[in-house]
Amino acid sequence: MTSTTLELLQKYSVPGPRYTSYPTAPYFSTTFSEADWVDALSVPAPERDLSLYAHIPFCDSLCYYCGCNMVATRDYSKTQPYLAALEKEMARTAALVDPARVVRQLHWGGGTPTYLNPGDIHRLMEMMRTRFTLADDAEVSCEVDPRELTRGHLEALRTAGFNRLSFGVQDMDPDVQQAVNRVQSEALIRQVLDWSRELGFSSINLDLIVGLPKQTVESFRRTLERVVEWAPDRLAVFAYAHVPWLKKHQNLIHEADLPGSAARLGLQQAVNEMLGAAGYVNIGLDHFARADDELVRAQQNKTLWRNFQGYTTHKDCDILAFGVSSISQTADVYMQNDKNLRRYEDRVSKTGLAVERGIKLSRDDRIRRDAITRVMCDLELDFAAFGSEWGIAFTDYFADALAALAPLAADGLLTVGADRISVTPTGRLFLRNIGMCFDLYLKEAAANKPRYSRTA
C-alpha cells in the first residue's frame, strides 16, 4: 500500500541536519587550533575567489523562535568594542590571505545588521573594502529587520555598495506575531520594500517561517497572498526548528500552540501551491526564486552549490567569516569562531583571531560533501560523472549509502537506477533524510542524543 505524504512525514520526522556544511557543525572539534586555521589561511589558492561574511549579533528584542547567535540589548554602546574586534580580526586574517584574491560575495547577517546606525554601517563596510579586493560586480547583501529600520539605514547600505537585501517577514498574522514576540504590520513591510526599490537594490529576498505557534493553513495563505503581491525576487521558507534543549528561550513558545504534522504538511503544500502559481521555482530545500533568477539557471546548469548562506552560484569561494560564532571555510577546512560575545572579543584582543573549533576534511569527507550537495542542489546524482570526478566506482564506494537509500526509494522519495539517483517531487520534502544516507558521522554518532531539529 502506498503511504500518504502525511504518513511519510510522520515516518521520516527524525532529528537531522540541513547540510549547509559536511561534516556538520556538531562534529567540528575543539582540538582544531588557531595554528591550524593560520595554516589553512596561508595555503595559496589563487584559483579560489573569496566570500566575506560579517556577523552582527545585536537585536533590539528577542523573537521567541530565534535560532541565531544573538544578543538582545538596547545599549548601543556594546557595538563599539565589537566593531573594534571585527576590525582587528579582519586585519589579522587579511594579512594571511593573498591580496590578489577577489571578493565575489559579501554578506552581513545576524542578529540584526541594521542594528548598526548609518555611520557604523559605512564604518564596517570601509573596514572590509580597505582590507579586501571587492569585485565591481560582487553580490553584496544584507539581512534586514523591518522593525526599527529607517530610510537612512537603507540609504547607508546602498551608498556603502549593497545591492541585495533580505527581509525577515516570517508571518503576517497578528496572533502568530504576538505568540513569537515579533510584531510588524503590513504597512511597515510595504514601506521598507518601497524604499528599497526606490533606492535601486537589485534583488530582494523575503524570509518566511512555517511551523510557528498559532499558525494555521488559512492564516498562512493570507500571509502568502500578501507576499506574492509584494513580488520579491527570492523567498526562503524555513521550517521552524523547535530545539528548546539548545535554545532555552524557545521555552517561551507554548508547545500546544505549535501546528501538528498534518497542519505542517498543509502549510508546506500551501507554500508550494501558491508560490508555484505565482511563478516561483522551488530550488530545493526551503528556497524559491523567479524562473529567470540566476539560482534557477545554476540549478539547470548543475552549477548550484550550498553553503552556510544557503544556495549560491559561487561554488569555489573560500568563506572568510568575521564575528562571534561565524563559520569560515576553505577548500578542506571549516572553522567556527567563539560563540560567546565576551570571549570572542577577549580572544581577538589577544591574537586577532577567535578560533573555537573546526575540522580538516578528509578525502572521504569531501567526496561525501559533494554527493550530498549534488543531491540537495541538482536533485539527482549521475554515478558515472560523479565517479570520474573523484576517481571512484560510485556504486562500490557508496554501497552503504545506496543500501540506506533503498527504503526511501521504496517509499517513493527517490528513484535509484543503474546509473543515477533522482529525487521525486514527493522526495523534495525529504532532502535532509536523503542527505543523511550519505552521512558517515551520523552513523557513528551516539544514539538518541538530539543534536538537530526534526526534518519534517
Query: Does position 63 bind ligand SF4 by CB under 6 A?
Result: yes
Question: Can you tell me whether residue 312 is helix, strand or coil?
Answer: strand
* Least distance to ligand SF4, CB of residue 169, Å: 11
From 73, 68, 28, select the one nearest 246 (Cα to Cα): 68
Q: Which of the ranges 56-64, 149-157, 230-238, 353-361 carries the binding residues for ligand SF4, by CB under 6 A?
A: 56-64
CA distance 456 to 9: 6
Closer to ligand SF4 by CB, 162 or 240: give it.
240
Name the residue with cell 517561551.
252
Question: How far apart are CB 395 and ligand SF4 at their closest, in Å?
Answer: 43
Would you tell me the crossing angle of helices 79-96 and 118-131 to the nearest 10 degrees? 10
- Measured distance CA(325)–CA(337) in Å, rounded: 5
Q: What is the layout of strands, in order, in the sheet containing 355-360?
A: 280-282, 287-290, 234-239, 203-210, 164-170, 133-144, 102-110, 50-56, 318-322, 327-330, 333-337, 355-360
Q: Which stretch binds ligand SF4 (CB under 6 A): 62-70, 186-194, 409-417, 424-432?
A: 62-70
Instruction: Compute the least distance from the CB of residue 408 to ligand SF4, in Å.
Output: 32
Strand duo 133-144 + 102-110: pairing: parallel
For residue 110, state whether it binds ligand SF4 (rule: CB under 6 A).
yes
φ, ψ for residue 181, nearest 5 deg: 60, 45
Using CB under 6 A as the binding rule, whether residue 6 contacts ligand SF4 is answered as no
Show the binding pattern over residues 240-269: x = contacts ligand SF4 (CB under 6 A), - = does not: ------------------------------
CB of 103 to ligand SF4, least distance (A): 25
Taking CB under 6 A as the rule, does residue 283 contact ligand SF4?
no
Minimum Å distance from CB 138 to ligand SF4?
A: 24
Pairing state of beta strands 133-144 and 414-416?
unpaired
Position 144 contacts ligand SF4 (CB under 6 A): no
**CB of residue 178 to ligand SF4, shortest distance in Å:** 14
Our CB check for ligand SF4 shows the closer of 113 and 352 to be 113
Place of cell 565591481: 136
Handedness of CA 81, 83, 89, 92 (dihedral sign): negative
**Cβ at position 111, least distance to ligand SF4 in Å:** 5
CA distance 325 to 313: 24
CA quadruple 268, 271, 273, 275: dihedral positive or negative?
negative
Query: 250 with 243: CB under 8 angstroms?
Result: yes
Q: Is 66 in the site for ligand SF4 (CB under 6 A)?
A: yes
Q: According to CB under 6 A, which residues from 150 to 189 bind ligand SF4? A: 168
Site size with ligand SF4, rule: CB under 6 A = 11
CA–CA dist 256, 266 (Å, integer): 18
CB of 68 to ligand SF4, least distance (A): 4
Per CB under 6 A, the list member of 62, 84, 94, 217 interacting with ligand SF4 is 62
Q: What is the DSSP letter of 276?
A: H
59 binds ligand SF4 (CB under 6 A): yes
- The Cα–Cα gap between 97 and 111 comes to 27
CB neighbourhood size of 202 (10 A) = 11
User: Per CB under 6 A, which region of 104-112, 121-129, 154-162, 430-438 contacts ligand SF4?
Assistant: 104-112
In the bound state with ligand SF4, the residue whose beta carbon lies nearer, of 207 and 318, is 207
Stretch that binds ligand SF4, among 15-23, 58-66, 226-234, 331-339 (CB under 6 A): 58-66
As measured in angstroms, the least distance from the Cβ of 286 to ligand SF4 is: 16
- Grid coordinates belonging to 260: 501538528
| Segment lying near ligand SF4 (by CB under 6 A), choices 66-74, 118-126, 232-240, 396-404 | 66-74
Instruction: Tell me whether residue 17 or residue 168 sits nearer to ligand SF4 (CB atom).
Output: 168
d(CA 393, CA 405): 18
Q: Does 70 engage in binding with ligand SF4 (CB under 6 A)?
A: yes
Min CB(158)–ligand SF4 separation in Å: 21
- The C-alpha cell at 76 is 548601543
Question: What does the per-residue mask of binding to ligand SF4 show for 111-130, with x meaning CB under 6 A?
Answer: xx------------------
Is residue 145 involved in binding ligand SF4 (CB under 6 A)?
yes
Q: In terms of DSSP bridges, do strands 327-330 and 333-337 run parallel, antiparallel, or are they unpaired?
A: antiparallel
Q: Which is nearer to ligand SF4, 73 or 395 (CB)?
A: 73
Q: Do residues 377 and 299 lie in contact, with contact meaning Cβ atoms separated by under 8 Å?
A: yes
Residue with cell 579586501: 132
Q: Which stretch binds ligand SF4 (CB under 6 A): 65-73, 171-179, 303-311, 374-382?
A: 65-73
Residue 302, C-alpha cell as written in the block: 548543475
The answer to whether residues 268 and 324 touch, using CB atoms and an 8 Å cutoff, is no
**Residue 309 binds to ligand SF4 (criterion: CB under 6 A):** no
Could you list the residues that contact ligand SF4 (CB under 6 A)?
59, 62-63, 66, 68, 70, 110-112, 145, 168
